[in-house]
Structure 1
Amino acid sequence: MKLSESLASYIRSVSYEQLPDDVVEFTKLCILDYFSSAIAGSDTLPIAKIEEIVEELGGAKQATLITGGKSSVTNAALLNGASSHIVEQDDIHKGSIIHAATVVIPAALAIAERDNLSGKDLITAVVIGYEVCYRIGEAVTPSHYYYWHNTATCGTFGAAAAVAKLLNLSEEQIVHTLGSAGTQAAGLWEFIEDGAMSKQLHPGKAAMNGVIAGLLSQKGFTAATRILEGDRGFFEAMSDDYDVSKVAERLGETYKIMENSFKVHASCRHTHHAMDLVSELSRERRLDAEDIESIEIGTYQVAINITNNDNPMTVYQGKFSLQYCTAHAFVLQEGSLYTFTEENLWNEEIRDVMSKVRIYVDPSKNNTYPNQWGAIAKVTLKNGKHIELDTDYPKGDPEQPVTKDELLEKFMQLSQKLDQSERENISEKILSLEKVEDLKVLFPKNRVDAK
């Protein structure tokens, strides 16, 4: 059986009724976490630019925009996907290196709202979308990740799978949906050299492309039936060392969404291990910058590929600098959205500590990546004392989980631009999503019909 056929059969077979209670509850937390980031990012400059394009393109008012008003399902997926990926607090899966919420959920939300589907339908589609993109991401990781932004490329398949489920497509139509998704999959890491807005375009476009793929297949539009494993398909074109078996292994027996990780710090996930270690050290030992002689951070090669920047010049670059994030966490003992500021970027104490940070590849951490995203922190104090700390799992991983209350607190913090009552209402609706019949209630009231 072709891989797309296996996935199509799986997508058709899953029902809400068969989902275990813990999967349903966890999926609602993923959706809550999505809205945390989407609301927080909704008034930023890149989203304002995309909103301008959405308004210029126009289209039927089918789905709610996180910025207010309505637009077509494709435009809603584009903008709502981009908005949730800008503050660097969206979820992540270690094995596939994908931020699934930012592509799967906005695509699913748009179609589910347009078609008057229920919270149960949305939950089911999200579970399926995560499953599909994580499996494809695991198959091509880690070699794919050097050039390609997995969230954008593999995420397109997840968005398409969720949409296909909501559209109730046949297995044949789903195969073509995956084919159209794969041929649109794109997103290169070169943007990181400039700190460009392309990072927000990637998930928005992936969500949008997933919607387009499903809608086209619904109308009989055909696509490659071996888009993954074909001789000129996704795997051959975009990975040096892929593992086809990852796609269908135990498909339907496990729920990959349960492997999801949540972000505590508002920076690249590859900086979180070090931030956890040094913030805890600083807090427990009551250390100051003047106490530090040196800090050595040993981690895996990919973390260094993405975050090796010893002199970030913008807040955005700071979030992708392991050296800066380490110093930031040591001095401030946290790394929330509201501590990554222009003032703190040039904070003399943080800059002093940053100058003492050295990063290197640790063989033990490199060998266990991507199953473990670990780091070793070796801290030398000016009094000659040496302290060594080690972690394999940043806070928020399944092995070191955050609680429901912590995610709710994160939502309340990131959505603080809304009134307290509005935040409480939205979070309550999401946490009882299986009872919701009108998905518009998940959006802030003043934004549903704002424009």
Structure 2
Amino acid sequence: MTFSRRFSEYVISHRYEQMSADAIMATKLAILDWLGSAIAGGLEKPAKILSETLNTFGGLPQSTNFVTFEKTSVHYASLINGGASHILELDDVHKASILHAGASIIPAAFAVAEWKQATGRELIEAVALGFEVAIRIGEAVSPSHYEIFHTTGTVGTFGATVAVGKLLGLSVDEMVHALGSAGTQAAGLWEFIEDGAMSKQLHPAKACSNGLLAAALAKQQFTAASQILEGRRGFFAGLVKEVKEELLFHRLGEGYKIMENTYKIHSCCRHIHPTLDCVQEIFRENGSKIEEVERVVVETYQVALNITDKPDPRSVFESKFSLPYAAALMLVKGKTGLDEFTEENLFNPKIRRLTEKVNLRVDPALDALYPNLWPSRVTVHYADGTKLTKETHAPKGDPENPAGELELRGKFLGLAGKVISEKQAKDIADTIMNLEDVENVSTVFS
């Protein structure tokens, strides 16, 4: 049996009633967390460009565009909302697969659920299954795939396809073809980070729209490769140095990968979060001694430095991928949320001087824990010769150190409240957290 067929048989035979209460709750929280990032992300320039560009092409009024809150085509809504939800660096991530699953899966599922007037239960099931397949493929190809390819764009395409395919009622054979079309479209290169370019947001946007296209074409009997993952010229052969195939189906059906999801508290690259949690502890204990800091030593895993060793960020976007700057920002401000990553703070002399004192190192023992754990150790040395060290293997938001419903509701209200009224935000949060009772997803924003 091919890998695509095995996944397809699992997805198509799955029923909402199989899901545990914990899995349902985890899925609702994932949707709520994604929605906050999408709504607030709609204020940002990349989202506005996406929206304005696609609006010039027209589009049937089928699904909500979170930049304008007007209806556009399900295709354009997937693109726009996928991009918008990845801008603020506050969207979820799954550690072992190194995947921002929410931004690359939920926008497509939500847009299709609106279009097809699906029930909340159908949306919950589709999202959970999209996460299941995408995360498993991501685990199998990580971390080598991540060296060049942005997993959110590549692997995310498979997850979007599964979620949409489930909502469209594909057969097993149709889902196999849908996955074949997904794999041949899967793309996303890390080169964007060299320029701090907006194409990072294009990765989940295209994962959503390509997944939608793959599933919709399969519904119309459009054929594709049946062995798109393991085939001689397939996804693994073309885009992956090392594949751990044993992880693809390990304990499939015994639980849900969405329950392993991680949520962001800090508004920056997730590879920086372990360090920021450590620095925040130090700030709370010794924040008054900021002028006495002589140097800051950060020890972590190699991939974190590959992505975030940027000592001189020149834009707010770049600052969210600068571990030295983010650590200095936390030492000065005591928090690193959306309101701290600003143009004013970017060129704050006090923060810049401290940035120069941050030294980054790879610790082999910590490096060996990645990608299952994303650890960091921070030592702040003071002028009087004293030092303070903090270490974490599970920053806040990890399943081992979870952010609960109350915290994620608060995060959502803070983000959505930048765009809509407090009452509207609370009503939407209540609706999402009772999504299993919604008879028609298109009424969520009514």
Shift of 1:248: 1.4
Per the alignment, residue 56 of structure 2 pairs with 56
Shift of 1:277: 0.5
Per the alignment, residue 132 of structure 1 pairs with 133
Question: What letter is aligned with 2:431?
Answer: K
Asked if 1 retains the 8 angstrom alpha-carbon contact of 2:113 and 2:442, the reply is no
Per the alignment, residue 247 of structure 2 pairs with 246
Question: What letter is aligned with 2:260?
Answer: E
> Is 2:353 the partner of 1:352?
yes
Per the alignment, residue 258 of structure 2 pairs with 257
CA distance in 2, matches of 1:2, 1:75: 32
- 1:142-200 Cα distance to aligned partner (Å, 9 max, x none): 00001000000000000000011001110000000000000000000000111111011
Per the alignment, residue 426 of structure 1 pairs with 428
Shift of 1:282: 1.0
Question: What letter is aligned with 2:9?
Answer: S
Asked if 2 retains the 8 angstrom alpha-carbon contact of 1:315 and 1:342, the reply is yes
CA distance in 1, matches of 2:148, 2:286: 40
Question: What letter is aligned with 2:115?
Answer: R
CA distance in 1, matches of 2:239, 2:395: 28
Matches within 5 A, 1:281-296: 281-296=282-297
CA distance in 1, matches of 2:24, 2:117: 20
CA distance in 2, matches of 1:286, 1:388: 14
Question: What letter is aligned with 1:227?
Answer: I
Asked if 2 retains the 8 angstrom alpha-carbon contact of 1:229 and 1:244, the reply is no
Asked if 2 retains the 8 angstrom alpha-carbon contact of 1:28 and 1:123, the reply is yes
CA distance in 2, matches of 1:398, 1:180: 33
Per the alignment, residue 153 of structure 2 pairs with 152
- 1:38-97 Cα distance to aligned partner (Å, 9 max, x none): 011012111111112211222222111112211211111000100100000000000001
CA distance in 2, matches of 1:321, 1:437: 44
| Structure 1 moving runs of 4+ over 6 Å | none
Per the alignment, residue 449 of structure 1 pairs with none
Per the alignment, residue 180 of structure 1 pairs with 181
Matches within 5 A, 1:197-208: 197-208=198-209
Question: What letter is aligned with 1:26?
Answer: A
Matches within 5 A, 1:356-375: 356-375=357-376
2:368 partner SS: helix
> Is 2:38 the partner of 1:33?
no
CA distance in 2, matches of 1:308, 1:440: 44
Asked if 2 retains the 8 angstrom alpha-carbon contact of 1:279 and 1:332, the reply is no
Shift of 1:307: 0.3
2:389 partner SS: strand
Structure 1 residues without counterparts, runs of 5 or longer: 446-451
Question: What is the identity percentage for the equivalent residue pairs of Structure 1 and Structure 2?
Answer: 48
CA distance in 2, matches of 1:96, 1:442: 31
TM-score calculated relative to the size of structure 1: 0.97
1:378 partner SS: strand
Shift of 1:353: 1.3
1:310 partner SS: coil
CA distance in 2, matches of 1:371, 1:268: 17
2:377 partner SS: strand
2:288 partner SS: coil
1:396 partner SS: coil
Shift of 1:236: 1.1
Per the alignment, residue 142 of structure 1 pairs with 143
- 1:205-249 Cα distance to aligned partner (Å, 9 max, x none): 110000000000000000000000011110111111111121112
Per the alignment, residue 390 of structure 2 pairs with 389
Matches within 5 A, 1:52-91: 52-67=52-67, 68-91=69-92
> Is 2:184 the partner of 1:167?
no
TM-score calculated relative to the size of structure 2: 0.98
CA distance in 1, matches of 2:188, 2:327: 28
CA distance in 1, matches of 2:87, 2:307: 17
Per the alignment, residue 448 of structure 1 pairs with none
CA distance in 2, matches of 1:90, 1:132: 19
CA distance in 1, matches of 2:33, 2:107: 12
CA distance in 1, matches of 2:439, 2:63: 15
Structure 2 residues without counterparts, runs of 5 or longer: none
Question: What letter is aligned with 1:385?
Answer: T
Deviates more, 1:251-260 or 1:123-132: 251-260
CA distance in 1, matches of 2:386, 2:23: 46
Matches within 5 A, 1:110-125: 110-125=111-126
1:28 partner SS: helix
Per the alignment, residue 8 of structure 1 pairs with 8
Deviates more, 1:44-53 or 1:282-291: 282-291
